[in-house]
Amino acid sequence: MDAAHSTINQVLVTLFNHILRIEENALSFPGLSIREVHVIEAACEAPDTRITALAQMLHVTTGSLSVAVTTLERKGYLLRKRREDDRRVIDILPTEKAKAIQKKHIAFHQEMIAAVMKQLTEPELSILVKALHGIDSYFTEKETQKA
C-alpha cells in the first residue's frame, strides 16, 4: 500500500485505541464498572425508555440489561417505573446521582472536541466533518448489508 494509505491507517488505529483507553480512564468511577457507566449514560440520554429498547441500544439481551438495571437500582443510579397504560412495560429513569455521572461524560466530550477545533481553521474543520461523515456512511452501509 502507498504512503498516504498507510499513514491514515496508522493514525486511525492508534487514535481509536487511544480513545478506547482514555475513555475508560475518564469514565472510571469508584464502585462502577465501565459497562455500568454505559448503562447509566444510555438511561440519561434516553430517559423514560423501556428495558427492551434500552437493551437494543446497548446491544445486549433484555435479560442482561434486567440484571444490570437491578444492580444499578440497588446502587442508587436508576429507577424502575411501571407504565400505567400497560403494566408489563417498565421505564428506566436516571436519578440525580446518575445525571452527575453523565455530566462528567459530557464534559469529557466537550474537552475533546475543543481540543480538535482549536487546532483547525474553519475550512479545515468542514473538511474534517465531511471526511468523518464519509467514513461513517460507508460503515452504515456496511452494517445494513449484514443486517
Binding stretches for DNA (CB under 7 A)? 33, 35-36, 50-52, 59-71, 80, 85-90
Alpha-carbon distance 146 to 45, whole Å?
A: 27
Alpha-carbon distance 40 to 25, whole Å?
A: 16
Assess 104 for contact with a copy of itself (CB under 8 A).
Answer: no
Choice between 58 and 89, CB closer to a copy of itself: 58
For 92: left if phi > 0, alpha if psi spans -120 to 50, otherwise beta; the answer is beta
Residues of the shown chain interacting with a copy of itself in the complex, contacts defined by CB under 8 A:
1, 4-5, 7-9, 11-16, 18-19, 21-22, 25, 59, 109-110, 112-117, 119-120, 124-125, 127-136, 138-140, 142-143, 146
